[in-house]
Chain A
Amino acid sequence: MARPRLAVIKFASCDGCQLSLLDCEDELLAVAGAVEIANFPEASRAVHPGPYDVTLVEGSITTEHDAARIRAVRDETAVLITIGACATSGGIQALRNFADVGEMVRAVYARPDFISTLATSTPISAHVKVDYELRGCPIDKGQLLELVSALLAGRRPVLPSHSVCVECKLASRVCVMVAHGTPCLGPVTHAGCGALCPGYHRGCYGCFGPAETTNTATLAAQWQALGASRRDIHRAFRTFNAASEPFCREADAHG
């Protein structure tokens, strides 16, 4: 049987999520043996034309050109997987969605007329059908390997949709919010990191975006009780997954 053909495609992003694949140092050569890496420009200059069986998409859509390109990517692949906060929620560059992009371009570039960019940064799902999403800024490479392994084996991937709070309990960590009064987004943030930040004595800052079910308003009230200002709460929800609906709404409530 022919090996499944894999493509890794990038839009507006930092390259960190696709680097996660190259960071699977122990598994990389095995993965490269199990699939045909047909189009992965960050790793290889050999780019073979589609169609592809699986495409990993990193980054968000911020230009007209990319909006057209993602439709062509969708047409060429059987399974499309978005990897990371940019591709699944628009990423940190979605902060432009709440500002005047023209003013932002003028602030950065001497010749704004040389720059062509959209007023918004949008997730891949706003443009085409997405089959699987991996959350995180960056994604967890364990989750990436699980998803690729599951697809190769023809089974459903095990990707929990509960909160970081549950992962924290599973790891038997001391709750930073209860024990130390440290504001934490763990109760409303999607699992996947293994509750990393509480393990380092800091509150979760939400880089995996909202969990499947969230109660952001109650959490915000608890933050206020711990002394967080409205502005602190606004900023906490308006960072790495600012455009995802539950976080966007809660940030607006404290704007």
Chain B
Amino acid sequence: MENIKRLQISRRQLIILGITSVSTTGHLITVSVLIGRAGRDAWLAWFLTLILAVGVLWVIARLGEIYPGENLISIISRILPRPFGFLLGLAYVVFFFLALAVLLRTVTAFMVIGVLPEVPVWFVIVSFAFLGFYGVRKGVEAFLRVAEILFPLLIFFGIAASLRTMSDKDYHELLPILGAGWEPIFWGSLVALGFLGELIGLTMYYPFLEERTELFRLNLAILLATGVLFIGPITGVIAVFGLEQVLNLTFPTFSQLRSISVIGFVERIDSLAIFLMLVGSYVKIASISYACNLAVATLFPLKANNLYLNITIAVGVSLISMFIFFNYLTLQNFVHNTYFKVGLLFGVVIPCLLLLIWWLKKIYSSRW
């Protein structure tokens, strides 16, 4: 653990990491899944998700504060007895691995469907896996600095694209509000909460924070920023295309970008979408790979950022992306029907149970 602990990151970097992670999955998956479940009221579902997420992020922050300087895997081993702790730690490694594979395959699908139709899928997967591998090899400080440098650009382009499509938006498309009642909103928010469950990965980075931080406030900053940033895309795509058309779009936010021309000179700005997705995916792939790496290094007596472990993760994730999610339909089915449940289990249920067990243990030890 010694070499792991010596690395340090700032609060700003962790917030940027959180926002970038949520945004990437958000643009690629959450927006379309949320609209698919909650329809016109997706924005209401998103608000409900944010309210529920506040509780989840409090739990995650509390765990981090109870065991300062410990990552999720070591926290689990502190709360649960050895065999259970080890097995749950291993399960989290599998979860990180799965999250990585899903992201890799989704972003590949985005590139292949959207901008690189002639390039083989395997090549895009390998190129993304290599990016992640390179980022991890260069260290957490390096890829978080990349995020820190490019984050203002991402925000600027995102806001500019949103403003540029303002004239095409008809917000009457969002009416009637609550047309289908509360049920779709509830299910939609639960699905979105499942995707936000990936934020549990942040706990792997808590020990690196250079300043003593109130973790809940930090998590809340991430949540508020992503909450505000996502209202635009969720409502924007419905306002531009209408609900019926959005439901047929694979990547609605990307389709919205395609309709933009810049000052009547640059006709299509697909490259902007490539840029936004590539940067976001890179940061997220590198961060989950690193988290996976740390989790394995904490479970087993291994050195953090071990070369062979990095290679194994990059190759393993590439193979899963290629052979298990062999086409986009398989991936879509998995993401829409199964993956959010996995996210809910590992990102919401288990952390809450862990806190509950810690609390019960505390009460038990204080009484006896």
**A associates with B:** no
- Residues on A facing B (Cβ under 8 Å): none
- Give chain B's interface residues, CB within 8 Å of chain A: none
